[in-house]
């Protein structure tokens, strides 16, 4: 695979690529965390991000000398972290070897705990998915049952793959609530009774003592997935907005997830868009979530349908056993129902107006729209786009792309796998002096 020219043209400042270990544990106390020198870490991250790299690619992409890169490549080959691929490319008459991560190094699992489902994916170190599984589950059943079920499923999937439990080097989990990432704990999650401060990591660690486990908020995890394997590949500044039962955003800043001081950056669902609007479950009035998320769309539509304003919506309501969902409103809007179109447009306008403020504030290169409600389709996207363009500064929208998620229902799992991978290779503090070379 030839590296895209636009990628090569950009020279990364090595300082932006250096990432501190995010979890505040003493080095060496976590299982399966591999200490690398700062240079090795940068090379591993680049190879991970773009799949394959030749030495020339690495030289043109970093500030490092060819000698330094050659030394690091040898060390990484010795550690079996990377492998030489059979594919070679001729550059200027010379054969050029390509390096990629060693798939056989081990396995990494990504778990996406949704309000009503468990999604699991297991990948090898090259990022290739070797197992994928989904089943319905209510997060309200509490951590003991849900985590027990997840561990059982992981064990089954690993064994079905012909592997042993100790081959699992990392587990990333996305959860639908606010997480203090530094300690891996949920903090008063509104839709997860029994999960507040629950020790998720030690619980799973008992089943998988060899795995390095990380927990993050589901929207952050989806943003990470989109950056690594979706529409956001190669985009350094990105906002991923999830529109589902709630509304939240994941922020990618300079190629890394931005969590803020306490882990709740991106909680845009509770930005007020109408001080006199409907009451939100957070206790305030007129939050974006209370006006434009799935339940808000459904309840406004139901009200209108029952008032006889939309025969199409009433028909969906009756044929669904007296339930009207946001996706039905989407379907009715595609069929040309005037009221459904108006409700979708209105929601898009509110979401777009909040995004416009974020665009002016943060100047992202891309906004990715995901979550169940995004299935409503192009009408929602065009309404959001219109509102963003109308309300943002022209310079901020000159190169701005607003697109749907490409990872779709896999966003959480792909993101959780990448989150786990992000935390397996850490910079050894004892070797950090090499960063100044
Ligand atoms: Zn609120």
- pLDDT value of position 26: 39
41 CA distance to ligand 1 middle (Å): 40
Predicted TM-score (pTM) of this structure:
0.86
**Are 288 and 279 a contacting pair, CB within 8 Å?**
no
Count of beta carbons in the 10 Å neighbourhood of residue 47: 22
At residue 240, φ and ψ (nearest 5 deg) are: -100, 120
User: From CA 411, how far away is CA 71, in angstroms rounded?
Assistant: 36
255 CA distance to ligand 1 middle (Å): 29
* 3-class DSSP assignment, residue 40: helix
- pLDDT value of position 436: 38
350 CA distance to ligand 1 middle (Å): 14
Q: Strands, DSSP E only, in 57-205? A: 82-91, 94-101, 107-113, 117-124, 129-136, 168-175, 179-180, 185-186
**Two tokens, residue 81:** 């972290």
- pLDDT value of position 273: 93
261 CA distance to ligand 1 middle (Å): 20
At residue 290, φ and ψ (nearest 5 deg) are: -75, -10
For the chain, the distance separating the N- and C-terminal CA atoms, rounded to the nearest angstrom, is 31
* 3-class DSSP assignment, residue 163: coil
Tokens 């490409």, residue located: 406
**Two tokens, residue 62:** 């970093």
269 CA distance to ligand 1 middle (Å): 6
**Mutual angle of helices 338-362 and 294-306, in 10-degree steps:** 150
* 3-class DSSP assignment, residue 206: helix
pLDDT in tens, the chain (437 residues): 333 333 333 433 333 333 333 343 334 455 678 889 888 998 998 888 877 888 888 888 888 888 999 999 999 999 999 999 866 556 565 667 889 999 999 999 999 999 889 999 999 999 899 999 999 999 999 999 999 999 999 999 999 999 999 999 999 999 999 999 989 999 989 889 999 999 999 999 999 998 999 999 999 999 999 998 899 988 999 999 999 988 999 999 999 999 998 888 999 999 999 999 999 988 999 999 999 999 999 999 999 899 988 889 999 999 989 999 999 999 999 999 999 999 999 999 999 999 999 999 999 999 999 998 888 889 999 999 999 999 998 999 999 999 999 998 899 999 999 999 988 988 876 654 444 33
- pLDDT value of position 93: 59
Tokens 């043209």, residue located: 9
String of DSSP letters for 271-340: SBS-TTSPBPTTS-BSBHHHHHSHHHHHHHHHHHHHTTS-HHHHHHHHHTTS---HHHHHHHHHTT-HHH
284 CA distance to ligand 1 middle (Å): 5
User: From CA 57, how far away is CA 434, in angstroms rounded?
Assistant: 21
Q: Within 13 Å of residue 431, how many CA atoms lie on the same side as its CB?
A: 13
- pLDDT value of position 55: 86
**Are 109 and 417 a contacting pair, CB within 8 Å?**
yes
Report DSSP state, residue 432: G
265 CA distance to ligand 1 middle (Å): 15
* 3-class DSSP assignment, residue 207: helix
Nearest Cα neighbor of 281 from 179, 190, 177, 373 is 190
Q: Which residues of 14-40 are buried (b: 16+ CB within 10 A; e: fewer)?
A: eeebebebebeeeeeebebbbbbbbbb
293 CA distance to ligand 1 middle (Å): 11
* 3-class DSSP assignment, residue 125: coil
- pLDDT value of position 248: 94
- pLDDT value of position 30: 59
């Amino acid at each position: 695979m030839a590296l895209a020219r636009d990628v090569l043209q950009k020279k990364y400042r090595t300082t932006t690529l250096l990432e501190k270990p995010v979890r505040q544990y003493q080095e060496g106390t976590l299982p399966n965390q591999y200490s690398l020198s700062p240079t090795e870490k940068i090379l591993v991250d680049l190879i991970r991000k773009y799949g394959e790299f030749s030495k020339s690619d690495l030289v043109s992409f970093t500030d490092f000398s060819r000698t330094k890169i050659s030394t690091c490549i040898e060390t990484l080959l010795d550690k079996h972290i990377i492998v030489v691929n059979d594919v070679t490319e001729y550059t200027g008459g010379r054969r050029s070897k390509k390096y990629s991560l060693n798939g056989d190094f081990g396995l990494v699992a990504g778990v996406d705990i949704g309000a009503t489902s468990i999604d699991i994916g297991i990948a090898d170190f090259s990022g290739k998915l070797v197992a994928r599984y989904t089943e319905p589950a209510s997060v309200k059943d509490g951590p003991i049952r849900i985590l027990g079920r997840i561990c059982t499923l992981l064990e089954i999937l690993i064994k079905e793959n012909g592997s042993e439990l100790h081959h699992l080097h990392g587990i990333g989990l996305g959860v639908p609530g606010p997480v203090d990432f530094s300690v891996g704990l949920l903090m008063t999650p509104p839709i997860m009774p029994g999960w507040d401060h629950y020790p998720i990591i030690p619980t799973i660690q008992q089943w998988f003592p060899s795995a390095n486990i990380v927990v993050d908020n589901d929207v952050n995890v989806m943003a990470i997935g989109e950056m690594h394997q979706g529409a956001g590949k190669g985009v350094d500044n990105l906002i991923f907005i999830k529109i589902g039962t709630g509304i939240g955003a994941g922020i990618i800043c300079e190629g890394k997830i931005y969590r803020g001081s306490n882990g709740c950056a991106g909680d845009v669902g509770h930005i007020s868009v109408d001080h006199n609007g409907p009451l939100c479950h957070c206790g305030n009035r007129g939050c974006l979530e209370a006006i434009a998320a799935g339940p808000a769309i459904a309840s406004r539509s139901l009200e209108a349908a029952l008032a006889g304003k939309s025969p199409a919506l009433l028909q969906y309501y009756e044929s669904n056993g007296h339930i009207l969902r946001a996706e039905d409103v989407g379907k009715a809007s595609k069929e040309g129902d005037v009221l459904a179109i108006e409700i979708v447009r209105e929601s898009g306008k509110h979401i777009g107006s909040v995004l416009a403020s974020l665009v002016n504030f943060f100047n992202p290169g891309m906004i990715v729209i995901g979550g169940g409600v995004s299935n409503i389709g192009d009408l929602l996207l065009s309404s959001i786009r219109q509102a963003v363009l109308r309300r943002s500064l022209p310079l901020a929208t000159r190169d701005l792309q607003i697109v749907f998620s490409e990872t779709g229902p896999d966003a959480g799992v792909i993101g959780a796998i990448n989150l786990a991978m992000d935390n397996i290779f850490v910079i050894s503090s004892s070797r950090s002096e090499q960063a100044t070379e």
